[in-house]
């Protein structure tokens, strides 16, 4: 996981080219190129109706696109290619368990593949253990709770040891508590060796937990692909920024660079950032609001490893539930800070007041501005 | 009230009286309707699956046609089959042209009765199967496909999921023909020992004024229907602990 992970780490397993899907003359997907790489969890992140699930079904050979080519390991494939489909398994938003026991559900794909009963039983037992449902084989699948049912759905796919796991909003029907637990478990399972997954979600926090790379999709078009930290920290267009709840990335220039720490000029403000880019490079700069700490303007400089300490003015304060989001500016630089409500109360922030903002050089994401499309 | 009670007693006496002619009539009824039901299922379950699970242009019209078929008047079916199979009918001519010889008589035989009953029960099985299959979410089939199911395996899973509804389809199909008299009478002719079934026998006895005997036969028919439908229901309810 690094800033240059917008290219395939491993070899591409699935490549989609010139994919177009039209329903009743309305274009729902128009993606010139999409690559899923070996071993990665690739999140397709987008709002409702953005075409993300359709793209997953097309890449997963569950639906034929109106136009386009899909290659699997370099070989052209279609939805009619059973051998190719056998290499994948899917989990959907609603688990849709079949009538019968947990064991019958999990063994379904193994039966289709003609795996003998004794091996089936062993593999079912092992995978149920892995998803935290050991010993539930004989329970009725339709009497499970929502979280358990989704675990069975995951086990049903995992047991096939698919080359590619397709996950379409697997957690969005679950209540927040179960969701928090499951997202951790999913993340652990997906990061295990050899699991390659396409993970569709509208929830950026979920994407940040599970994914190595992220593609942001809107109106059927992929507008940004890259490593998860880079995409979620450096929104390159106002729409992406708005969607992931950040300010658009800042423009800057690298002034000088010492041992991988660069001084970047943003507006008239100087910011330290970890990057290997050479001086003179025009860059995009982003900082996650959670990485910016605030202190009173008059406070003594606390002992901190944060290289960046800026006196900034509060522009607005937005209540976000458990946190407050404070927009700040100084000398032509605009960033946001996300702080707890208690901290916000203690600082007694008001619009126009001065505060001291702290953030680490490693929290500042920098990317060369060259070749980044803008204004999407 | 008296007449019903004595009919009830008579029906018991008849049923256990060892009357070979009666057993033959009961047996033929079950055979004709049983074979017809199996054939109707072979037609109706796949057809109901396809119509119930696919989206295609004109689907609404097809569903309306099937639903109309569910209310097909048996007498009209009987009349149509009669006209098709009669010596002046088109099938007779076609057989003569193709085979160069006269077609053996089909009218007033058991196969003719079966043809009529298949026509009556197929839309019933199709219509109820269609509704049962349509109630299985399309996403469940997508899920099966995503685990590697072929079209056929997907269909088998869907039919299993819709099992209760499909048992209801079978019961509807059976109910529509075991009690039916118009068509079997018209194409079967109610020939004693050949094409006489329970319903045509009841009709005959009624016509001859033997109300008590007719009623007793009627009670036996209802009793047999009850036993068979009860069997269907048992099958339908089995595995209930895995139901939603």
From A46, A149, A45, select the one nearest A94 (Cα to Cα).
A149
Contact criterion met (CB < 8 Å) for A140 and B241 = yes
Residue B13 lies in a domain: no
Contact B242 A94 (CB under 8 A): no
Examine the domain organization and report whether A269 and A230 are in the same domain: no
pLDDT in tens, A15-32: 999 999 999 889 999 999
Give residue B87's pLDDT. Answer: 85
Query: Under an 8 A CB cutoff, do B146 and A62 touch?
Result: yes
The answer to whether A332 and A343 have CB atoms below 8 angstroms apart is: no
Q: Considering the domain boundaries, does residue A122 fall inside one?
A: yes
- Range of the structural domain that residue A349 is part of: 250-368
**Mean pLDDT over the full length of chain A:** 89
Whichever domain contains A220, its CATH number is 3.40.50.300
DSSP H or E run through A55: helix A52-59
Nearest-CA distance from A204 to chain B in Å? 25
Determine what percent of chain A is predicted with pLDDT higher than 70.
95
B24 within some domain = no
Task: Retrieve residue A281's tokens.
Answer: 């490079």
Decide if A46 is inside a domain: yes
Contacts of B159 in chain A (CB under 8 A): none
Domain membership flag for residue B18: no
A286: CB partners within 8 A, 6+ apart: A233, A234, A235, A246, A249, A250, A364, A365
| Residue A342 resides in a domain | yes
Select from B120, B148, B132 the least CA-distant residue to B40.
B120
Indicate whether B111 belongs to any domain: yes
Nearest residue of chain A to residue B141 (CA atoms): A96
Q: Indicate whether A4 belongs to any domain.
A: no
Residue A52 lies in a domain: yes
What per-residue string of b and e applies to A287-296 under the rule 16 or more CB within 10 Å gives b? bbbebbbbbe
Min Cα distance B143 → chain A (Å) is 7
In the block, tokens 């099938």 appear at B91
**Cβ separation A166–B146 shorter than 8 A:** yes
Q: How far apart are CA B136 and CA B141, in angstroms?
A: 8
- Number of Cβ within 10 Å of residue A360's Cβ equals 18
Q: Does B156 touch chain A (CB under 8 A)?
A: no
Question: Which residue in chain A is spatially nearest to B150 when comparing CA positions?
Answer: A82
| Lowest-confidence pick of A80-89, A156-165, A302-311, A366-375 | A366-375
Contact A109 B148 (CB under 8 A): yes
Same-domain pairing of A150 and A191: yes
Residue A1 inside a domain? The answer is: no
What digits encode the pLDDT tens for the residues A153-163?
999 999 999 99
Could you tell me if B137 lies within 8 Å of chain A, comparing CB atoms? yes
pLDDT for res A303 = 66
Same domain for A212 and A311?
no
Alpha helices in chain B (DSSP H): 2-15, 20-53, 59-70, 74-85, 90-99, 110-134, 138-146, 151-161, 163-178, 182-188, 198-207, 211-237
Residue A131, pLDDT above cutoff 60: yes
| Residue A264 vs residues A293, A332, A368: alpha-carbon distances, Å | 20, 13, 12
Pairs of residues, one from chain A and one from chain B, whose beta carbons lie less than 8 Å apart:
64
Of the pLDDT bands very low, low, confident and very high (cuts 50, 70, 90), residue B235 is confident
Q: Residue A162: closest CA among chain B residues belongs to which residue?
A: B147
* Cβ atoms of A273 and A285 closer than 8 Å: yes
State how many domains chain B has.
1
The alpha-carbon gap from B163 to the nearest alpha carbon of chain A, in Å, equals: 10
Q: Tell me: do A227 and A279 sit in the same domain.
A: no
In the predicted model, is pLDDT for residue B243 greater than 60?
Answer: no
Q: Which domain holds residue B143?
A: 29-237
B141: domain CATH number?
Answer: 1.10.3720.10
User: Residues 160 to 199 of B: which have CB under 8 A from any A CB?
Assistant: 160-161, 163
**ipTM > 0.90, yes or no:** no
Quote the number of domains for chain A. 2
CA distances from A291 to A51, A303, A342, A362 (A): 32, 16, 17, 10
Cβ contact, residue pair B148, A82, below 8 Å: yes
- Do A142 and B244 count as a contact with CB atoms less than 8 A apart? yes
Q: Do the chains contact at B242 and A100, CB–CB below 8 Å? A: yes
* Domain end marker among A221, A243, A265: A243
A34-46 burial: b if 16+ Cβ within 10 Å, else e? bbbbebbbbbbbb
Residue B140 CB partners (closer than 8 Å, separation 6+): A96, A98, B157, B158, B161
pLDDT at position A5: 42
Residue B242 reports pLDDT greater than 60? no
Tell me, yes or no, whether B1 lies in a domain: no
Q: In angstroms, what CA-CA distances link A258 with A172, A194, A230, A276, A277?
A: 45, 38, 22, 9, 11
Min Cα separation A89/chain B (Å)? 5
Same domain, A219 and A285: no
Measure CA of the first residue to CA of the last residue in chain B; give whole Å: 46
Q: Are residues A149 and A231 in the same domain?
A: yes
DSSP sequence for A150-186: HHHHHHHHHTT--SEEEEESTTTTS-HHHHHHHHHHH
User: Which two tokens mark B20?
Assistant: 């070979």
Can you give the C-alpha Rg of chain B in angstroms?
A: 21
Percent of residues, chain A, with pLDDT higher than 90: 63
Residue A323 lies in a domain: yes
Same domain membership, residue A112 and residue A25: yes
Digit-coded pLDDT (tens) for A185-223: 888 888 887 789 999 999 988 999 999 999 999 999 999
Asked if A256 and A172 sit in the same domain, the reply is no
Q: Least CB-CB distance to A112: which of B137, B153, B239?
A: B153
Does residue B117 belong to any structural domain of this protein? yes
Among the partner-chain residues A90, A112, A140, the one whose CB lies closest to the CB of B242 is A140
Q: Taking the CB of residue A246, how many other CB atoms lie within 10 A of it? A: 22
pLDDT at B4: 83
pLDDT of residue B241: 52
A374 in any annotated domain: no
Q: Return the residue matching tokens 């688990």.
A: A95
Secondary structure (DSSP) of A80-116:
T-HHHHTTEEEE-SS--PPSSBHHHHHHHHHHHTT--
Mean pLDDT of chain B: 91
Q: Is B153 helix (H, G, I), strand (E, B) or coil?
A: helix
Cβ atoms of A17 and A32 closer than 8 Å: yes
Nearest to B243 among A109, A142, A160 (CB): A142
Q: Do A31 and A106 reside in the same domain of the chain?
A: yes
State whether A54 and A123 are in the same domain.
yes
Domain at A316, CATH number? 2.40.50.100
Phi, psi of B23 (to 5 degrees): -60, -35
Using only C-alpha atoms, chain A has a radius of gyration, in whole angstroms, of: 23
The answer to whether residue A94 scores a pLDDT higher than 80 is yes
State pLDDT tens for residues A245-303: 888 889 999 999 988 899 999 989 999 999 989 999 999 999 999 999 999 888 777 66
Sign, CA torsion A77/A83/A89/A92: positive
* % pLDDT > 70, chain B: 98
Alpha carbon separation from B29 to A47, B74, B185, B236 (Å, rounded): 62, 16, 12, 24
User: When comparing pLDDT for A306 and A152, which is higher?
Assistant: A152
Please tell me whether residues A171 and A112 are part of one structural domain: yes
- 10 Å CB burial of residue B139 (0-12, 13-18, 19+) is middle
Both A144 and A269 in one domain: the answer is no
Q: What is the pLDDT of residue A2?
A: 37
B4: alpha, beta or left? (left if phi > 0; alpha if psi -120 to 50): alpha
Contact criterion met (CB below 8 Å) for A172 and A201: yes
Q: Is the pLDDT of residue B92 over 60?
A: yes
Boundary of a domain, candidates A191, A223, A243: A243
CB nearest to A98's CB, from B142, B145, B157: B157
- Which of A243, A259, A286 is where one domain is finished? A243
Do the Cβ atoms of A138 and A99 come closer than 8 Å? no
How deeply is B71 buried, as exposed, middle or buried, from its count of CB atoms within 10 A (0-12, 13-18, 19+)?
Answer: exposed
pLDDT at position A302, please? 66
């Amino acid at each position: 996981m690094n800033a240059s992970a917008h290219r395939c780490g491993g070899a591409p397993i699935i490549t989609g080219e010139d994919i177009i899907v039209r329903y009743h003359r309305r274009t729902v997907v128009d993606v010139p190129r999409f690559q899923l790489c070996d071993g990665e969890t690739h999140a397709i992140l987008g709002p409702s109706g953005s075409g993300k699930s359709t793209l997953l079904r097309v890449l997963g050979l569950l639906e034929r696109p109106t136009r386009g080519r899909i290659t699997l390991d370099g070989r052209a494939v279609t939805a009619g290619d059973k051998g190719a489909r056998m290499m994948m398994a899917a989990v959907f938003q609603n688990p849709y368990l079949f009538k019968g026991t947990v064991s019958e559900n999990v063994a379904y794909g193994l039966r289709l593949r003609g795996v003998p009963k004794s091996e089936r039983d062993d593999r079912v037992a092992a995978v149920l253990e892995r998803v935290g449902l050991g010993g539930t084989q004989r329970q009725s699948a339709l009497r499970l709770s929502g979280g358990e049912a989704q675990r069975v759905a995951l086990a049903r796919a995992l047991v096939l040891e698919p080359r590619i796991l397709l996950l379409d909003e697997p957690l969005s029907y679950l209540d927040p508590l179960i969701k928090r637990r499951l997202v951790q478990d999913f993340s652990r399972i997906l990061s295990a060796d050899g699991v390659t997954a396409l993970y569709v979600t509208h929830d950026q926090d979920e994407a940040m937990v599970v994914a190595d790379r992220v593609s942001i999709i809107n109106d059927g078009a992929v507008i940004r692909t890259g490593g998860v930290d880079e995409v979620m920290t450096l929104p390159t267009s106002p729409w992406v920024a708005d969607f992931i709840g950040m300010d658009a990335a800042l423009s800057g220039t690298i002034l000088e660079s010492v041992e991988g720490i660069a001084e970047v000029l943003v507006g008239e403000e100087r910011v330290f950032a970890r990057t290997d880019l050479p001086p003179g490079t025009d860059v995009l700069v982003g900082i996650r609001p959670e990485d910016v700490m605030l202190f009173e303007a008059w406070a003594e400089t606390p002992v901190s490893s944060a290289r960046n300490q800026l006196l900034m003015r509060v522009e607005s304060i937005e209540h976000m539930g458990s946190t407050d989001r404070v927009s700040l500016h100084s000398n032509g630089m605009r960033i946001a800070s996300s702080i707890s409500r208690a901290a916000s109360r203690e600082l007694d922030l008001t619009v126009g007041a001065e505060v001291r903002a702290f953030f680490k050089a490693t929290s500042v994401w920098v990317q060369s501005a060259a070749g980044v499309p803008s204004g999407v | 009230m008296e007449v019903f009670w004595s009919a009830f007693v008579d029906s018991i006496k008849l049923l256990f009286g060892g009357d070979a002619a009666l057993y033959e009539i009961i047996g033929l009824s079950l055979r004709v309707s049983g074979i017809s039901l199996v054939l109707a299922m072979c037609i109706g379950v796949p057809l109901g699956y396809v119509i119930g699970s696919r989206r295609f242009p004109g689907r609404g019209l097809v569903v309306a046609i099937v639903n109309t078929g569910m209310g097909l008047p048996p007498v009209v079916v009987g009349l149509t089959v009669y006209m098709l199979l009669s010596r002046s009918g088109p099938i007779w001519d076609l057989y003569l042209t193709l085979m160069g010889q006269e077609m053996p008589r089909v009218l007033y035989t058991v196969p003719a009765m079966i043809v009529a009953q298949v026509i009556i029960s197929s839309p019933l099985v199709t219509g109820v199967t269609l509704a049962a299959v349509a109630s299985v979410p399309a996403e469940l089939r997508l899920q099966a496909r995503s685990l590697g199911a072929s079209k056929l395996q997907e269909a088998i899973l869907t039919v299993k999921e819709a099992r209760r509804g499909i048992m209801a389809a079978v019961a509807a199909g059976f109910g529509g023909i075991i009690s039916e008299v118009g068509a079997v009478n018209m194409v079967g002719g109610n020939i004693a020992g050949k094409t006489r079934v329970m319903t045509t026998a009841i009709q005959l006895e009624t016509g001859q004024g033997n109300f008590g005997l007719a009623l007793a036969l009627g009670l036996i028919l209802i009793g047999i229907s009850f036993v068979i439908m009860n069997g269907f229901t048992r099958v339908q309810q089995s595995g209930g602990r895995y139901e939603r």
